[in-house]
Amino acid sequence: MAESNAALKEVGKMAGGKALTSVGTLPVGLVVLFIAFLVFIVLFVMSIFQDDEIVNTPQYNVKGISAQVMQFKSAIETELVNQGLDTSMANVLLAILQQESGGNIARTNGDIFQSSESMSGGKMGVITDPNVSIKYGVKHFKNVLTTSNNNLDVAIQSYNYGIGFATWIQGKEPTLEKRFEFSAEMKQKPQYASSVYTGVCRYDAEAQAWNACYGDPYYLDKVKNYLVILESDGDFMGFAGDGNFAMPIAGTMTMTSDYGLRIDPITGEGSMHKGIDFGCVNYVTAIRSIAAGRIVFSGVQNGYGNIVIVQHEQSLFSAYAHLSSLSVNVGDSVTLGQQIGVCGSTGRSTGPHLHLEVRREKFGGFQDPKSILGL
């Protein structure tokens, strides 16, 4: 902006000097045209210097949103306008609402956006009117969006963690590791050390290992499961049905475990299943890349056993776990449908199967693979 101001001052000096020397020698009409031309130059210079400061946020459509949530779309759009936000953010707030309450008025006693705490400084259950809940839900979203410098992923996670997360992360991307780290730090604070604040530690072993028991580290992923990013022309980006994705196993596939909360087959406790499982024959079934890309990991990783991670786009990865053997190395390029390994039961596994994950980050940002595969 300093360069912009200097440039504008220089143009202003030119405009002033030229106008003063021209009035006495040129017709008034020409002087007016000349000044108008200089104003145009000023606006052009402003646009050059200010473009770099604009933070673009992706546009989204929604999927899997209930009728109970959709009934509030108009009210959300109205409140966005009231608070000076673009109505294009309505779909993001619909996804947040779906995650917060599913639009269930009775279950939330009217606080459908769970925004009592943001209105009352930490007290829960204060709001009983859905319209008031929408007002303060949008206000909270606006505050975290502003604090995050319009980083939408940070703003979404901050809706759950609070505005402190947007300040804490200091412009970095909200990877799952960062979200675990913040949650663990907050859990160490006396006001959250109580066993009352257990969050997802009640059922998630990875969160337990981090002591990430404050809030929900997976909140961003859960909200984005209801969102589908759009290209600038309004078309869906690279999802199944356009020929860009293939199934990871040729022929008939049997899905043995779905994405989402489930009873862990080893511990018998509830846990978040971050992918989907397919049955396959140990040491026999070829596992194929669901799309063209580059291998960014091929090796052993904790409970995943032998795992291959393929990067397809800047923010699109697929991971194939529990393999008996690996067919690719880091840095290799793979084509759609190319074999990357063989079915196995390595790592934390109860039997031969493919565990497939789709991620927005190399080691986080999980989303339901069915949205990619069209299942």
Do 218 and 265 share a domain, yes or no? no
Pairwise CA distance, residues 234 & 70, whole Å:
20
The total of other beta-carbon atoms located within 10 Å of residue 54's CB is 7
Say if residues 313 and 291 touch (Cβ distance below 8 Å).
no
Do 209 and 112 share a domain, yes or no? yes
Max distance between CA atoms of the chain, in angstroms, equals 93
Full residue range of the structural domain in which residue 31 is found = 2-53
Residue 229 in domain: no
Residue 291 in domain: yes
* End-of-domain residue from the set 177, 209, 224: 224
Do 293 and 335 share a domain, yes or no? yes
The residues facing 297 across adjacent strands are 309
Under 8 Å CB-to-CB from 212, ≥6 apart: which residues?
179, 180, 181, 183, 184, 187, 199, 200, 201
Residue 230 in domain: no
Residue 74 in domain: yes
Residue 88 in domain: yes
Pairwise CA distance, residues 169 & 228, whole Å:
25
Do 213 and 343 share a domain, yes or no? no
Tell me which residue of 303, 97, 271 sits closest to 200, measured CA to CA. 271
Can you say whether the dihedral through the CA atoms of 166, 172, 173, 175 is positive or negative? negative
The total of other beta-carbon atoms located within 10 Å of residue 282's CB is 14
User: pTM of the entire structure?
Assistant: 0.58
Do 220 and 294 share a domain, yes or no? no
**What is the CATH number for 171?**
1.10.530.10
Under 8 Å CB-to-CB from 198, ≥6 apart: which residues?
213
Do 40 and 63 share a domain, yes or no? no
The total of other beta-carbon atoms located within 10 Å of residue 203's CB is 18
pLDDT of residue 252: 86
Ramachandran angles phi, psi of 371, nearest 5°: -70, -30
**What is the CATH number for 286?**
2.70.70.10
Residue 176 in domain: yes
The total of other beta-carbon atoms located within 10 Å of residue 65's CB is 19
* End-of-domain residue from the set 224, 247, 267: 224
The total of other beta-carbon atoms located within 10 Å of residue 129's CB is 13
* End-of-domain residue from the set 184, 205, 224: 224
Do 163 and 291 share a domain, yes or no? no
Write out the chain's pLDDT in tens, 375 residues. Answer: 444 444 444 444 444 444 444 444 556 666 667 676 776 665 554 444 333 332 334 567 888 899 999 999 999 999 999 999 989 899 999 999 999 999 999 999 999 999 998 877 767 778 999 999 999 999 999 999 999 998 999 999 999 999 999 999 988 889 889 999 999 999 999 988 887 778 888 888 888 889 999 999 999 988 988 887 654 444 444 333 344 788 999 988 899 999 988 888 888 887 889 999 999 999 999 999 999 999 999 999 988 999 999 999 888 999 999 999 999 999 999 999 999 999 999 999 999 999 999 998 888 888 899 988 888
pLDDT of residue 28: 64
Residue 144 in domain: yes
Do 330 and 355 share a domain, yes or no? yes
pLDDT of residue 206: 82
pLDDT of residue 15: 42
Do 200 and 293 share a domain, yes or no? no
- Domains contained in the chain, number: 3
Distance of alpha carbon 272 from its chain centroid, rounded? 18
Tell me which residue of 35, 13, 113, 7 sits closest to 69, measured CA to CA. 113
Residue 342 in domain: yes
Do 107 and 63 share a domain, yes or no? yes
Do 88 and 201 share a domain, yes or no? yes
CA atoms within 13 Å, Cβ hemisphere of 345? 10
Do 64 and 29 share a domain, yes or no? no
